[in-house]
């Protein structure tokens, strides 16, 4: 009998796995080793660049904070390599796939962000580095699942990495924001919410009580996405603490409510299938997500139009503060702000992609509040805009195309 050629694929004892990938775990470990070496070298390079650009103290402190987080990211991924199989199947895939590679890049970005925690806030272009790192991490989080589905490579490993890096990234971003004074110290409680959840589950299991599964929720994913977006926004170096602290109180309400509700359900304190809970949830959704947003839209529209009228009556007052945030002192720029704000307010008032309009409105509003102090009008406008972003536009909305983006992962079927 003729011998097979070196390139001929040989079946393994368990099926039809090609000969050159008979040991998929070994190949996965080699891919992991490439990530470990490359990310370590880049980390050392960033430290050297900071040393040359700033000073040794900042660079070494950055390195001392980034390296342990990078080590945790890498060793967490290595321990989970045996989970690199499709959900519901046991066959180990021999490649991490593009989705998991992007998730690992996210972990490296989070480690780099950790280097800025407990360090003084930088000035100039480097002041934007933490915001850029966390925003890029959010972008990776949005597209890693898309790549996994696009290339038919979804895995349990990807799901576990995604959940872990969600919690780790939020905790570190909040820690950096608290260090900079952009968030109040109590917000760290929300930063550790995932770990508190896991610890509570461990306590429940230790007492011999099983944890229940989380029921499906249409609000869980939007709240998580908005939380990461908000945390990224507070890292903007030009936003004053008086603005980000007000926003922190507003965002803390839905985050805390979602976390407490989920915990009460999985711990068995609440039966999510009971008629009483179902009626209460239906009533709360009708008022909080249907009628309340309509009132918020009208309130936001009124406050916004009032602010625009005040700005156009005295454009020089706003323009005089533009140089402090790196913009030219131009009355024409004030007019541009007014036009953009008007379009966003119309979007909110009509409920035509109102969440998107609220998101865009936060940019000119944030720049305005970076120059001027909070007034009753700007406070109402800020609160109304943020709550519209969180709750949506509710009743009598013309169109809600952004709901599809918030409610589904990238590339996911309806």
Asked if residue 169 lies in contact with residue 224, where contact means CB atoms within 8 angstroms, the answer is no
Average pLDDT over residues 136-148: 91
Backbone angles phi, psi at 345, to 5 degrees: -65, -35
| Predicted local distance difference test score (pLDDT) of residue 173 | 96
- Cα-atom radius of gyration of the chain, to the nearest Å? 25
Instruction: Decide if pLDDT at 10 tops 50.
Output: no
Please state which of the ranges 5-19, 22-36, 138-152, 301-315 shows the lowest mean pLDDT: 5-19
The Cα 70–Cα 95 span in angstroms is 22
| Predicted local distance difference test score (pLDDT) of residue 366 | 87
Asked if residue 291 lies in contact with residue 394, where contact means CB atoms within 8 angstroms, the answer is yes
Region for residue 139 given its phi and psi (left: phi exceeds 0; alpha: psi -120 to 50; beta: otherwise) = alpha
Domain residues of the chain, as ranges?
Answer: 22-212, 276-407
- What are the C-alpha distances in Å from 123 to residues 12, 120, 176, 241? 59, 10, 15, 16
| Predicted local distance difference test score (pLDDT) of residue 325 | 79
**Residues 352, 227, 99, CA angle at the centre, nearest 5°?**
95
Region for residue 15 given its phi and psi (left: phi exceeds 0; alpha: psi -120 to 50; beta: otherwise) = left
Average pLDDT over residues 198-219: 81
Eight-state DSSP code of residue 343: H
Q: How confident is the model at residue 21 (pLDDT cuts 50, 70, 90)?
A: low
pLDDT, greater one: 340 or 257? 340
3-state secondary structure of 76: helix
The Cα 394–Cα 397 span in angstroms is 6
Region for residue 209 given its phi and psi (left: phi exceeds 0; alpha: psi -120 to 50; beta: otherwise) = beta
Asked if residue 330 lies in contact with residue 319, where contact means CB atoms within 8 angstroms, the answer is yes
Instruction: Decide if pLDDT at 88 tops 50.
Output: yes
What pTM, to 2 d.p., does this model score?
0.86
Longest dimension (CA), the chain: 94
| Predicted local distance difference test score (pLDDT) of residue 407 | 63
Please state which of the ranges 27-41, 253-267, 387-401 shows the lowest mean pLDDT: 253-267
Instruction: Decide if pLDDT at 215 tops 80.
Output: no
First to last CA, the chain: 54
Question: Is the alpha carbon torsion for 176, 177, 178, 179 positive or negative?
Answer: positive
| Predicted local distance difference test score (pLDDT) of residue 7 | 39
Q: For all residues of the chain together, what is the average pLDDT?
A: 87
């Amino acid at each position: 009998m003729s011998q097979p050629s070196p390139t001929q694929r040989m079946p393994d004892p368990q099926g039809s796995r090609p000969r050159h990938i008979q040991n998929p775990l070994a190949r996965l470990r080699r891919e992991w080793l490439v990530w470990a070496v490359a990310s370590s070298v880049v980390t050392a390079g960033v430290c050297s660049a900071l040393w040359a650009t700033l000073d040794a103290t900042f660079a070494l402190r950055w390195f001392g904070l980034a390296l342990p987080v990078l080590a945790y990211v890498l060793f967490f991924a290595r321990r989970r390599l045996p989970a690199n199989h499709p959900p519901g199947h046991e066959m180990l895939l021999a490649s991490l796939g593009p989705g998991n590679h992007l998730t690992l890049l996210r972990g490296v970005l989070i480690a780099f962000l950790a280097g800025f925690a407990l360090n003084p806030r930088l000035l100039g272009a480097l002041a934007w580095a933490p915001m850029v790192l966390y925003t890029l991490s959010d972008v990776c989080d949005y597209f890693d699942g898309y790549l996994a589905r696009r290339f038919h490579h979804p895995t349990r490993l990807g799901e576990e990495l995604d959940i872990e890096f969600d919690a780790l990234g939020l905790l570190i971003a909040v820690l950096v924001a608290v260090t900079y004074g952009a968030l109040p110290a109590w917000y760290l409680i929300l930063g550790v919410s995932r770990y508190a959840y896991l610890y509570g589950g461990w306590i429940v299991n230790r007492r011999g009580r099983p944890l229940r599964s989380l029921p499906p929720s249409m609000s869980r994913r939007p709240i998580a996405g908005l939380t990461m977006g908000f945390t990224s926004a507070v890292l903007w170096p030009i936003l004053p603490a008086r603005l980000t602290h007000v926003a922190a109180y507003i965002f803390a309400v839905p985050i805390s409510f979602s976390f407490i509700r989920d915990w009460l359900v999985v711990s068995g304190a609440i039966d999510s299938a009971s008629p009483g809970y179902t009626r209460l949830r239906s009533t709360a959704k009708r008022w909080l997500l249907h009628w309340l947003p309509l009132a918020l839209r009208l309130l936001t529209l009124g406050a916004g139009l009032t602010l625009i009228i005040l700005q156009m009556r005295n454009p020089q007052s706003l323009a005089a503060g533009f140089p402090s945030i790196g913009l030219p002192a131009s009355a024409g720029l004030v007019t541009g702000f007014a036009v953009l704000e008007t379009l966003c307010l119309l979007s909110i008032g009509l409920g035509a992609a109102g969440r998107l309009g609220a998101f865009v409105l936060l940019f000119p509003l944030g720049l305005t509040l970076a120059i001027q102090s909070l007034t009753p009008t700007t406070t109402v406008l800020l609160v109304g805009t943020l709550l519209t972003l969180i709750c949506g536009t509710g009743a009598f909305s013309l169109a809600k195309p952004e709901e599809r983006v918030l409610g589904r992962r990238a590339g996911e079927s309806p």
